[in-house]
Structure 1
Amino acid sequence: MLELDKTTTFNPLPQHEAEQKIEQQLINLLKQGDEAQRCYSAQTITSSQLSTAHQALADNLYHPDPDVVIDSASALGKIEHSHIEQLEEVARHHPDGDARLAALTALSDRISNPRVATLFRELALGRQEDDWGLSSDWDEWWDIQLKAVEVLVTTSDINNLPLLLTILEQDPEPELTSLIYNGIARIDVNWIVDKLPQVGLVTKRKLVKSLAHNDSQMARAFLFKQLKSDDSELKKIAIENLANKNAKEYLWDIIQCLTDPHPSVQKQALTAIEALNCSSSLDYQRLVQLAKQAPETAKPAIIQLLLPLAELLPANDLQWLIDLCSGEHHESAIAAMTLLSKLNLEPHNQLDVIEVLINRAKKRTTPLLTRCDAIRLLPRFPLHHQVSLSMLQSIVESYDQADRKLEQDPSLRQACLEVIAHTKHQSFQQIFRRLLLGKQAFSNQIEVTQLNSPQDNAQPRNTLEEHTDEVNSQDDLANILANYDTDAITQPNSDHIILDSEPNELEITETQIQTSTLGAISKANIEAMLQGGTQPQQDDPSTSIMEMVEGMDEQLQSYGDMVKANFESADNLNLNRKKIARLPQASNKTLAIRALGKGDEENNADLLIEGLLGASHHEIREIFQALTQLKARHPKLKSPNNGIGAAGNAMHYGDDLAKQAAAHFLAHMPVNKAVPMLTLGVTDPNEHVRYCCLSALETLLNKGIRSAEKIHIIRECALTSLLDTAGGVRRQALLLLTKINLNSYNENDINTLIKLAIDDDECNVLASQVLKPFRSQILSYLAPKLSNLSEHNQPFALRLIGAVL
C-alpha cells in the first residue's frame, strides 16, 4: 500500500493551467504511450468527452492492438469530431470482430447521416460469400449483423422495410428474427396482424410481443384479443404489454385473467392491475361474484384485489368467506382469513375464524408455510388470547424424547413466539420471561427436599461421570452404555422442581451444532454407533470384482481400466450422498429473542436487556440485533438506551460477532455515549469489527451531529483508518470522510485522499464519485506527476481525472 505522508506540500497550479497540462499529457500518452497507457487515456477521454484529443484518437484507429482500437473508437463516439470515414473503415475492414462492433457502436448515433445509414444497411444483410476478413475462430459476422439490425430498427424509416423482409427470408437466428419483427411492427403493424393467423405458436408469440413497439389502437386491439388465447404465454405477453401501454379500457378483461388456471398468468394479471393503479374504480360486487365462480386455484388472487375494499363487504357474503376458511385449498383459506382479519367481526364470528386458524395450524399434514401463515394471522383477531395459548405453547414446547430434540420446525416455533410477543396478556408474556430468564423469571422459588428412603441409602447407581476415561473403541462404548442406567438421562432430578416446561438441559444449542460438512458427517456416524450398535461387516462386492479384473489378460486391460474407473466414480458418488446439509435447530430462547425484536411493545426492550445477564456470546449477538430492530423502527423509544452499558462491555470482552452486533446497536444510540465506544472498536484486531464501527459512525453522521468535538474525533479516526490493511475498511473510512463538511479539510487532508484514490482499487471507484468537489485540487496535484506515476498508480489516476474533468 502507498505510504501516505500528510506533511508533503507542493505549489498547486492554477486550475486552467492544470487542465491544459492534463489534456496535453493525455494526448501524449495516446501518441507515445504503450498499449495500456493508450487504452487508459482513451477511457479517460470517454469519461471526460475531451474534444481536443480527437485526432490522436483517430490515429489510434490504425493501431495494431485491437484493445487500443476499441477504446479509441468508443471515445470518438462520445465527442463532436466523429471521424466517420475512419470509423467506417474499421467497421468494414478491421480483422477483429470486437473492433468492428466498437466502430459500429460509435457510429450508431449518426444513423441519420446517409453514409452511415448505407453502411448499416449493407452490414445488416450479413456476410457476403467472398467476405470473411475476421481473425476469430468463429464467425463474428452474426454479431455484426445483429448490431446493424438493432440500430436500424430503432428508427421508423419505411425505407428499411424491404431490407428487413429480405433478411427475414434468409431464415435468421431466433434473436435476430425477434429484432426484425420489432422493427417491422414500428413501420407497418398491418404486416404483423396479417401474419398472426398464418404462423405457428412460437412465431406467433414473437409477433404478439412485437406489437408492444407500436402505439396504434390496432396494436392494442390485437393484444386484447390474445387475452382469450388458450396459450398461457400469449396471455402473459398481452397482459404485460397492455399494462405498459396504460390501457385502462381493458382493466376488467385483465381482471378476468385472474381465473386462469396457470399461476403465472394470475401473477402477471395482478402485476398489471397494480401497474394500472385503478383499485379505487374496481367494482366490488363484480369481484365478489367472480371470486365465488372462480376455481379454487384462482380465488387467492381475486381475494387479494378485495383487500383494499374490505369495508365494502356486505353481511350476506360473510358466511361465504368463513366457509372458504374451512376449505381444503390452503391458499384460498389463508386469503379468506386475511380478508376477514380486516373486518370488524362480531365475537361469535371472530371465534369461529380463530378456531379454523388453530385447527389448520395444528394439523400436521398442512404445508409448513400455510401453518406459519395461519399462526401469524391470529393477532389480527383481538379475541384470540382466549383460546390460542395452549396451542401456541404446545407447538413451542413439543419435545421428541426419542430423538432428544424439539419436535416442531424452527420456522413454526418462530411464528408462535411472534404471536405470543404481540399479545399483551400476562399469561403470554410470562412464557417469554421463562424462556429468556429461566428460573430467574420466578421471584419466589420454593426448594422442595425429599427425605431419603432406605432404598436411596443403597449402593448408588452408576453415572456417566464415572466413565471419564477416553473411549477408544466401539466395544468400550457399548460396555459403558450397557452398565449405564439410561433413566439417569431421561428422568429429571427429583430433588428440585423443574419449572421449565421444556428440558433445557437436553435441548441442542447453537454451540453444539456442527457448522462444517465433515463435522456433521462425523456426528452422524457417532449417533449411528450409539443407536445401532455394532453391525456385522459384509464383504464389498466391488472387492471381489476388482480382484477378478486384476487377473484378466493383458488384451482386456482397457476394459478392466473402465471397470475400475466406474467403481471409483461410484465411490465418489456415494461419498457425496453422505454429505447431507442440515439447518441448525435454533433454541426457543434464540427464537424468543428474535420475536421480541419484531414486536412493538416498550417492555420488550426491558426484557431483552434483562436477558443479557449471563447470556452467551451467541445470545448477546441475538439480543443486540433485536434491540437494534426495535430502536430502528421506533427511534423515540427510550428503553433500548439502557443497553448502552452492555454494548460497551461487548465491545471490550465480546467475541467478534457480538462486537459487530453491538456496533450496529450503538449506531442508534445518543452520540455522546456511542462515539467513544465506536472509536474504540475502530482499533479492534478484527477487520469486520472495524468496518462495522466505521459504518455505525457514518449512520450517526447522517442523523446529524452538532458537536464539533465529536466530529473532530470521527474525522481523525477516519483519517487513521485510511492506512488500514483491509481494503473494505479503507473504503468505508473514505466514505465516512466525505460525510463531514468538505470545508473542514486542509491541503494535506485532500492530498491524503487523492493519494489513497490513486493507490487503492476499491477507494478509486468511490473517489471518482465523491471527490468531484475537489476538482481543482485533484488536477493541480496530478498534472505535474501524471507521466511519472508507476504502472500501478497511473491507471487509477487517469480514471479519477476522467471522473472530475
Structure 2
Amino acid sequence: MSLQSETVDLLCQLLESGDEADRCYAARTLGVLRSDSAVSILIERLKDEDVDVCVDAAEALGKIGHHSAVPALIDSLRNDNSGEVCSMVAVALGKIASAECVDVLLDVLTQRPQGLEWDGDWDTWWDIQLEAVKALGMAGDEKAVDELVAFIDDDAQQDIENEVLNALVSISGMGLDRVIERLQDTSIKSLHRRRAARALANTRLVKATKILGRSLQDPDPEVRAEAVHALASQNADRYLSALVLLLRDQNGEVRDAAIKAVSHLAQRASGSKALQETLLPILNDPSSPVRATVMNALMPSVHNKPLSHEYYQIVVSGSFDDNAESAAAACRLLGENGDPEAISTLLEHARNREGHPMVRRDAILSIGRFGQVTEAIVEVLMNAVGDSQQAVRLAALTTLMSLDTHHVEADESSQPKQTTIRPLSIVIDAVQGSIRVPDKNATVKEQAEDGMDQPEVSETEVQNGVVVEFDTSLENTFTDASADPDLPNQPPVPQEIADTIKLPDIPAQIVEAGEVSLAMSTLDAIAMDNVDSMFDQEKPQREAPEIDEATREYLDVVEANKAEMRRIRASKRMTPDQDVRRLGTRALAVANDDEAIEALILALNDQDDLIRREAAEAIGEMAQRNRKNPKLMDAVGTLVTQLAVGDLEQKIACARSLSLLGNRAALVPLTEALKDQQANVRVETIHSLARLCCDSLDPVQAEHMVVRDLPSTSVARKLLACLGDDSIGVRVAATRGLAKILPAADDKTLTQHAVDRIIASVIEFTGEEARQVGQALRAFDTSMINKALLVQLRAAEDSVKRSVFIEMIEEILKPDRRQPDQAA
C-alpha cells in the first residue's frame, strides 16, 4: 500500500469512527487531498448528526469533483433543513457542474426547499440562493440564463444583482448578451445599468469592450464613470484617447474616474508614438488635476521622444502652478525629459523656502536625474539638507548620494573635475551633526511647549522607507512634550483650569481635631518617624488581593502594550537636527566606498540610539549588495557588542546585519543571543543563524579571522533547544531554520531526531502552529515526515492532538496550490 493510500485509509477510519472534531478535520483533509476513494464515506457523512461534519463533507466532495456524489448532494440540497449545509452543497454542485447539477440549482434558486429552517430572523434560503447563483455562473450553462434574468427583476429576491450579473457574464454567449442589453436599456434605473457595466469589466471579450467604449458617451454620468473603470480594468489601451476627452467631463465623478484610468493606461502605452499626440494638447487644460494627470502620464514616453521646445516651455510654466500636485508633476516631468536647461528652473524651486514642500522635494529629486555635480547644485542641496521640511531633507540626501556616483566617475576619468566638494562628504557631515536646521524652529518649539495650538500636518507620504510629513502651516512641527504623562517637568496647570477643580465631598481620610502636629525640627521629625515605624510593625498588613491567572495574563499584556507605546513615542520624539542625522545615516546605505563605511561604523558608536540602529541597518543593506568589501568586516566587532548590550531594535538590526555580512565569526555570538529575554530578538537571531549557515563567505578566501567556527550541525542542535520556547514565534522560526540547515547538512541521524522533536514540540503547547510547521517540514523528505506523522496520529489519545497531526499531514501532502479546486 502506498503512503498516500495509507493516509487516506486512516483518515477514512477517523471520518467513520472518530468524534465530531475528528470527522470535521478528516473530511476537510480528504477534500484537500482529492482522493476519489474517499467519496463513498464522505457521502455517508452528508447525513451526519453534526452539522459541521455535513458542511465539511459537502465541501470535500466539491473539491474532489467526482460525479458519483451528485445524487447524494442533490438529495441533501432538497431535504436537509440546515441552510449552512445546503449552501455548501450548492457550492459543491457548482464545482462539479454537470447538467443535472444545473437543473437542481435552478430549482433551489426559485423554490424554497421544504423543511428549511430559519436562523433566528434570517432566512437561510437567501444564503442558498446566493451560492446557487455563483455556482450557475461557474457551470456556464446557457439554460440558466432566462432564470437568472428573471431572478434579477423579481422584487422578492435579495439584493444580489451584482452576483447575478457576474454569473451571466460568465455564461459568455446568451448571458453576456443579456447584460449588454441591460446596460443599453435607458428605461431602467441608472443604478442597474451601472452594475451591468461593472459586471462587463470581468470579461475580456471584444464585444463587451466595444459596448463599454460606446457607454463613454452615455447621457448618465454614473454609467460613464463605471464604463471608464471597466475599460481601465480591461486594459483597453485603444480607448485612451476617448478617456482623455473625459478629463474635461462636466461631472466630477467621471473626471476622477478618467484621471485614474488615463494614469493606468498611459503606463501600459508608454512606448506608443501616439501617446504624446493624444496627451500634449491637454497640457494647457484649465483644470490643475487634469494637467497633473497628463504630465504624470507623459513621463514614460519622454525617454524615447523628449518634449518639443513649445511643450517644454508649457511644462516649465506649469512648475509654478498654484496647485502643488500639478507643479510637482511638472518638476518630475522636467527631470524625466532630460533637458539640462531645466536645471535652473528646478534649482529655483529648490531654493524657494516658501514653496510647497512637495514641489521642492520633486524638484530636488529631478535635479539628481541629470547627473551634474556643479558648485551651484551642491550648494543648493547642502542648504536643503538643513531644511525645516523633512521631505526636502530626505530628497536632498537621496540626490546627493545619487550624484556622488557621477562625481566619482568624473574624478576617475580624464575629464576635469566639476567641483571640489564631494556630495558624499555633505551626507557624512549631516550624519556627524555638522549640518543643522535653522534656529527659527526653536521658536515654534517654545510655542508648542507653551500650550499653543499646533498645526495639523496636511500630507504624509512614504519616501525611501521613511514616512515624511509635508507641513504647509509651519516650518516644522514638534511633539508636545507636555501631553506625555511619562515625561518629567510637566508645566503647571493654568489658573483657569485649576479654578474649576472641585474637591470631593468626603475626603479619603477624616482628620480629627488635634491630629495636625505642630511644626518641629528636622531631628525631632526623624525621631518621630522612627517611633511610628515601630508601631506600624505591630499593625496587620493589608493583604494584596489574589489575581487569577487569566487576569494576570491580561495585565501583563496591558503593561507590555504601555511599554511599547512609550517606546514608539520616544522614537518619534526627535528634533529636526536629530532627523537630519537619521536620514543621512539611512542615505549612506546606497554608498559603496570605504569612506561611507567608516562613517557608518563611527555612527554605530553614537550616543543616539536611533542613529546606531540606522547605522546597523545601513551596513546590512551594504552587505546585501556587496558583502565582499573587506572594509565592511570592520563593523563586525561593534555589531557583536551591540547584539549583546543594545536595546530591542538595535539587537534585531545587529543580528540581521551580521548574517548579511557572511562572516562566520558571528555564529558564536548569535548562538548566545538565543538566550535573550526578548522573543523578537530570539526570532531574528534564529533567522540570522539559518541565513549565515546556508550562505556565508569562505573564511580562508575572505581572510576572516574566525577564532571559533561552528559547523551547521552544531547550530542545528542549538535551534533544537528553541523548540521548547514559550513563544510560538520562536518555535516556528526554529522549525523553519532547521528546515533550511539540515537538508544541506547530510546528517540523517540528526535530521530524523530533529523531525521527531519538531513534531513532538507542536503538541507540547496549544498546537496552533501546526500548519506553519507542516509547511516548513516540506523541505525535508516528505515520505519520512508523513510516516512519522501517521505513527503519531494513530497513537494520539484525543481529538485535539489528532487534529494537530491531521493539519500537518494536510500541509505535507496537499497538491500544488496553483491547481484549481474544480476537478478536471
TM-score clears 0.5: yes
2:685 counterpart of 1:693: yes
- The match for 1:83 is 69
Deviation for aligned residue 1:525 = 8.8
Alpha-carbon offset, residue 124 of structure 1: 0.8
Deviations 1:244-271 (A, max 9, x none): 5454433432344455563343123322
Residue correspondence of structure 1 range 215-364 to structure 2 within 5 A: 217-229=206-218, 234-245=223-234, 247-258=236-247, 262-275=255-268, 277=269, 279-293=271-285, 295-310=287-302, 311-346=305-340, 349-359=342-352, 362-363=353-354
Q: Give distance in 2, aligned partners of 1:414 and 1:206.
A: 45
Between structure 1 and structure 2, the one with the greater Rg is: 1
**Equivalent residue of 1:526, what SS?**
coil
1:447 is matched with which residue? none
Q: Displacement of 1:314 after TM fit?
A: 2.0
Q: Which one of 796, 802, 810 corresponds to residue 794 of structure 1?
A: 802
Q: Are residues 1:100 and 2:89 paired?
A: no
Tell me whether 323-332 or 387-396 shows the greater mean CA deviation. Answer: 387-396
Q: Is the 8 A contact 2:428 2:596 kept in 1?
A: no
Between the aligned partners of 2:620 and 2:27, the Cα distance in structure 1 is: 48
Contact 1:284 1:312 in 2 (8 A): no
Alignment of 1:100-119 (within 5 A): 100-114=86-100, 116-119=101-104
Say if 1:70 and 1:102, in contact at 8 Å, map to a contact too: yes
The verdict on how the C-alpha distance between 1:434 and 1:313 changes in structure 2, with shifts beyond 3 A counting, is closer
For 2:110 and 2:362, locate their aligned partners in 1 and report how far apart those are by CA, in whole Å: 58
1:698 positional shift: 3.2
Give the aligned partner of residue 112 of structure 2.
127
Residues of 2 paired with 1:285 and 1:221: CA distance? 23
Q: How does 1:501-540 map to 2 (within 5 A)?
A: 520-521=484-485, 526-527=490-491, 529=493, 534-535=495-496, 537-539=498-500
| Deviation sequence 1:236-293 (CA, Å, 0-9, x none) | 5323433554544334323444555633431233223435x46334343443223234
* Structure 2 counterpart SS, 1:312: coil
| 1:679 CA displacement | 2.2
Q: Distance in 1 between matches of 2:189 and 2:723?
A: 63
CA positional deviation for 1:51: 3.2
CA contact (8 A) 1:379 1:422 kept: yes
**Aligned-CA RMSD value:** 3.8
**Shift of residue 732, structure 1, vs aligned partner:** 1.0
CA-to-partner distance for each residue in 1:67-97, whole Å, 9 max, x for gaps?
1111122222233374333222221222221
**What residue identity is the alignment partner of 2:667?**
V
Which secondary structure does the structure 2 equivalent of 1:154 belong to? helix
Contact (CA 8 Å) 2:796, 2:802: kept in 1 or not?
A: yes
- Percent sequence identity over aligned pairs: 21
Distance 2:747 2:29 in 1: 30
Number of the residue aligned with 1:55: 40
CA contact (8 A) 1:660 1:693 kept: yes
Q: How much does 1:137 deviate? A: 4.3
Structure 2 CA distance for partners of 1:586 and 1:689, relative to 1, 3 Å = farther
Q: Size of the alignment, in residue pairs? A: 666
SS in 1 for 2:491: helix
Alpha-carbon distance, 1:432 to partner: 4.7
For 2:428 and 2:206, locate their aligned partners in 1 and report how far apart those are by CA, in whole Å.
66
Residues 528 and 639 from structure 1, CA distance in 2 versus in 1: closer, same or farther, beyond 3 angstroms?
Answer: farther
- Contact 1:728 1:762 survives alignment (8 Å): no
Distance 1:542 1:88 in 2: 74
Contact 2:433 2:577 in 1 (8 A): no
1:130-163 alpha-carbon deviations (Å, 9 max, x no partner): 7643455421111101111221233443322331
Whole-angstrom distance in 1 between the partners of 2:497 and 2:128:
69
Whole-angstrom CA distance in 1 between matches of 2:711 and 2:178? 71
Contact kept, 8 Å, 2:606 with 2:612, in 1: the verdict is no
Q: Distance in 2 between matches of 1:430 and 1:213?
A: 55
- Give, in angstroms, the shift of residue 120 of structure 1: 0.6
Q: Deviations over 1:454-484 (max 9, x none)?
A: xxxxxxxxxxxxxxxxxxxxxxxxxxxxxxx
Relative distance call for 1:756 and 1:236 in structure 2 (3 A) is: farther
Q: TM-score when scaled to structure 2? A: 0.72
Deviation, structure 1 residue 609:
1.4
Partner of 1:211: 200
Q: Does 1:157 align with 2:141?
A: yes
Q: Which amino acid aligns with 1:682?
A: L
- Superposed displacement of residue 652, structure 1: 2.4
Aligned match of 2:754:
749
> Residue 555 of structure 1 aligns with which residue?
none
**Mapping of 1:179-218 within 5 angstroms?**
179-185=163-169, 186=172, 187-195=174-182, 196=184, 197-212=186-201, 217-218=206-207
CA distance in 1, matches of 2:70, 2:421: 81
Q: CA separation of 1:40/1:617 partners in 2, compared to 1, >3 Å: closer, same or farther?
A: same
Say if 1:616 and 1:352 are closer, same or farther in 2 by CA, change over 3 A: closer
Tell me the CA shift for residue 308 of structure 1.
2.6
Equivalent position SS for 1:198? coil
Aligned CA distance change for structure 1 residues 317 and 62 (closer, same or farther; 3 Å): closer
Instruction: Give per-residue Cα distances to partners, 1:483-514, cap 9 Å, x unaligned.
Output: xxxxxxxxxxxxxxxxxxxxxxxxx999x997
What SS does the aligned partner of 2:63 have?
coil
Shift of 1:537: 4.4
Residue 314 of structure 1 aligns with an amino acid whose one-letter code is: S
* Residues 292, 59 of structure 1: alpha-carbon distance in 2 compared, 3 angstrom cutoff: same
Q: For 1:439 and 1:597, how far apart are their aligned partners in 2? A: 16
Deviation at 1:61, TM superposition (A): 1.9
Kept after mapping to 2: 8 A contact 1:76/1:82: no
Whether 1:723 and 2:712 are equivalent positions in the alignment is no
1:764 aligns with 2:749: no
Structure 1 residues 220 and 23, CA gap change in structure 2 (3 angstroms): closer
Matched residue SS, 2:336: coil
Pairing 1:359-508 to 2, within 5 Å after superposition: 359=352, 362-363=353-354, 366=356, 368-380=357-369, 386-387=375-376, 408-419=388-399, 424=404, 426=421, 432-437=427-432
Residue 780 of structure 1: aligned partner = 787
Asked if structure 2 preserves the Cα contact closer than 8 Å seen for 1:104 and 1:148, the reply is: yes
> Aligned partner of 2:806: which letter?
L
CA distance in 1, matches of 2:321, 2:777: 62
Query: Larger relative contact order (C-alpha < 8 A, sep ≥ 6)?
Result: 1
8 Å Cα contact 1:722/1:733 also seen in 2:
yes
Secondary structure, aligned partner of 2:155: coil
Find the aligned partners of 2:698 and 2:630 in 1 and give their Cα distance.
Answer: 21
Partner of residue 38, structure 1: 23
Q: Distance in 1 between matches of 2:435 and 2:71?
A: 86
Compare 316-325 and 749-758 and name the one that shifted more: 749-758
For the pair 1:631 / 2:623, whether they are aligned, the reply is: yes
Whether contact under 8 Å (2:662, 2:695) holds in the other structure is no
- 1:649 paired with 2:641, answer yes
Secondary structure at 1:328 match in 2: coil
| Partner residue in 2 for 1:171 | 155
Q: Counterpart in 1 of 2:464?
A: none
- Which stretch of structure 1 is more off in the superposition, 174-183 or 732-741? 174-183
Alpha-carbon distance change, 236 to 678 in structure 1, aligned in 2, over 3 angstroms: farther
Trace 1:603-642 onto structure 2 (pairs within 5 A): 603-635=595-627, 637-642=629-634
What stretches of structure 2 of length at least 5 have no aligned partner? 405-419, 437-475, 506-565, 700-708, 814-824
Q: When the two structures are superposed, what TM-score results if normalisation uses the length of structure 1?
A: 0.74
Secondary structure of 1:631's partner?
helix
2:748 alignment partner AA = Y
Deviation per residue, 1:550-590 (Å, 9 max, x gap): xxxxxxxxxxxxxxxxxxxxxxxxxxxxx9x9953345244
2:445 alignment counterpart: none
How big is the shift at 1:122? 0.8
Q: Aligned partners of 2:682 and 2:688: how far apart in 1?
A: 10
CA drift of 1:690 comes to 1.2
